[in-house]
Chains A and B, each alone.
Chain A
Amino acid sequence: MPDPSRLYEAILNGDHKTSVAVTREAIDAKIDAMELVSRHMVPAMDEVGRRFECEDYFVPELLLSARAMKAALELLRPLLAAEGAKSAGRVVIGTVQGDLHDIGKNIVAAMLEGGGFEVFDLGANVAPQMFVDTIRERHPQLVCLSALLTVTMGSMRTTIEALKQAGVRDSVKVLVGGAPVTPEFARQIGADGFGESATAAVTLARQMVQA
């Protein structure tokens, strides 16, 4: 019987080859896909996030771990669907207009996927209208906005305004994050939540879809 905790180790070590190998073994041994995700994958990404917060891991480690996780998730996706695994929720995520930074946003998107969410990633420099159109098309519960510069944070305000203008603001919860974003700013612009870190964002996302 393969040891699925090796999946935890592989993700933590950013070893995508091992994460794929272990996942294949687990699938062959008919280990429950949802259990693999919730017992081993999610805790691994949580630990990765924790290490990043205490400056043990930096962006390269995050990228390698996210890659290891995503590779395993790719193999599990059809099984999760077949098991009737309910999506934790639908999320639209993007970096706001004017801002081209996306590494942090990509990591949050990967962690949300690992956490069972259906994620629509609009990329970077996303115009407010694009968020509006995607909300209308995909009906997400959550909209996650990212910015890495104080000079582009204003676009978060204009994006929320655009959601209001379009009459879709009340149909979603808006989460904001990114290095210069603060709880005070989130309150000021009428966001529903502030993600202090990638891990915190995922925890908050889970709480918000249940609310």
Chain B
Amino acid sequence: MRIKVISCDVMFREICHLAAHSPNQVDVEFLPKGLHDLKSAAMRERLQQQVDAASTADYQAVAMAYALCGNGLAGLQARAIPVVVPRAHDCIALFMGARQRYQQYFDTHPGVYFKTSGWIERGSTANQLSGYGLDMAALVARYGEENAEYLFEQLNQYKKTYNQFTYIDMGIEPDDRFEKQARAEAGERGWDFERIAGDLSLLRRLVDGDWSEADFLVVPPGYRIAPTYDDRIIEAREAAP
């Protein structure tokens, strides 16, 4: 098969690795990390542009290396060729290899921030896309010193309630630099640290075209992605004419 993969930049190393080893001929387009920080309509529009551009006779399908991503994929429409999406809430499920594993881990570990190579090294910080989470100097410049102190405290409140970094080792990193950095940052914040082994198999199946109904949604032309609010995560519904 010849497929177009549209991928979040956060999965750069993983997708490059899988594309190189795939029996399919795979073209990849990476979009900036952090689109989920925009309103979901804005993220969807951005992705739709890419899907539209890819929906040509050159490819048999467009494979999205994304999850539902805060409804950023809700409403995304398949044009002339099918769009394939893994059934997952967030990319962390993709790194873990199974949405059930993600839900289980999430439910038993509230207050965890996840790290992978992409979360550490890719792109400028996601927050800059939405103008959120400015650093202290920028806050002072925009709001004045006293307001900046208040805002800095409010916007960093989460550091008191979140309490752990979990680093997901995907097995393709060149060395332990990412794990070390995550561990060091946990130490600086006084947070716990855990390293878990990731699982490439779900992303591999996305890139290789092994799209079981149980784990993937194949959206036919003229249909759109819709959240189901159950374990299937997403389904295809007829797009409005």
Residues of B close to A59: CB separation below 8 A: 132, 155
Size category of the A interface is 20 to 34
Task: Say how far A48's CB is from chain B's closest CB, in angstroms.
Answer: 15
Query: In the complex, which residues 126-174 of chain B have their Cβ closer than 8 Å to any Cβ of chain A?
Result: 130-132, 134, 139, 142-143, 147, 150-151, 154-155, 157-158, 161-162
Within the assembled complex, what's the spacing in Å between the Cα atoms of A165 and B13? 48
A211 at the interface (CB under 8 A from B): no
Q: Which residues of A contact B150 (CB under 8 A)?
A: 63-64, 67
| A180 contact from B71, B106, B130, Cβ within 8 A | B71
> Is residue A174 within 8 Å, beta carbon to beta carbon, of the partner chain?
no
Interface status of B110 (Cβ within 8 A of chain A): yes
Cβ of A141: which chain B residues have Cβ within 8 Å of it? none
B227 at the interface (CB under 8 A from A): yes
B105 CB to closest chain A CB (Å) equals 10
Contact of A153 among B90, B102, B142, B229 (CB under 8 A): B229
Q: Quick one: closest A residue to B102, CB to CB?
A: A151
Which of A100, A124, A151, A184 has the most chain B CB atoms closer than 10 A to its own CB? A151
The answer to whether A180 touches B107 (Cβ under 8 A) is no
Q: Complex: how many Å from CA A162 to CA B233?
A: 23
A188 touches B89 (CB 8 A): no
Residues of A171-211 contacting chain B, CB below 8 A: 179-180, 182, 184-185, 188-189
**Which residues of the other chain, A, contact B161 by a CB distance below 8 angstroms?**
100, 124-125
Please state if B70 and A60 are interface contacts (CB–CB under 8 Å).
Answer: no
Cβ of A188 to closest chain B Cβ, rounded Å: 6
Contact between B106 and A98, CB atoms less than 8 A apart = yes
| B62 smallest CB distance to A (angstroms) | 22
Find B147's partner among A64, A182, A184 (CB 8 Å cutoff).
A64
- Per the bound structure, the CA–CA distance linking A14 and B134 in Å amounts to 18
Q: Render B206-239 as a binary contact track against A, CB cut-off 8 A, 1 for contact.
A: 0000000000000000000001010001000000
A150: CB under 8 A from chain B? Answer: yes
* B229 and A60 form a contact (CB under 8 A): no
Segment 165-217 of B: residues with Cβ below 8 Å from A = none
Is B151 touching A150 in the complex (CB atoms < 8 A)? no
Neighbouring B residues of A149 by C-beta, 8 Å: 70, 89-90
Instruction: List 9 contacting pairs A-B, 8 Å CB cutoff, sorted by A.
Output: A58-B131, A63-B151, A64-B147, A64-B151, A100-B158, A153-B229, A157-B229, A185-B229, A189-B229
Interface residues of B (CB under 8 A from A): 39-40, 68, 70-71, 89-90, 102-103, 106-107, 110-111, 130-132, 134, 139, 142-143, 147, 150-151, 154-155, 157-158, 161-162, 227, 229, 233
Binding site for B on A (CB under 8 A): 14, 58-60, 63-64, 67, 97-103, 124-125, 149-154, 157, 179-180, 182, 184-185, 188-189
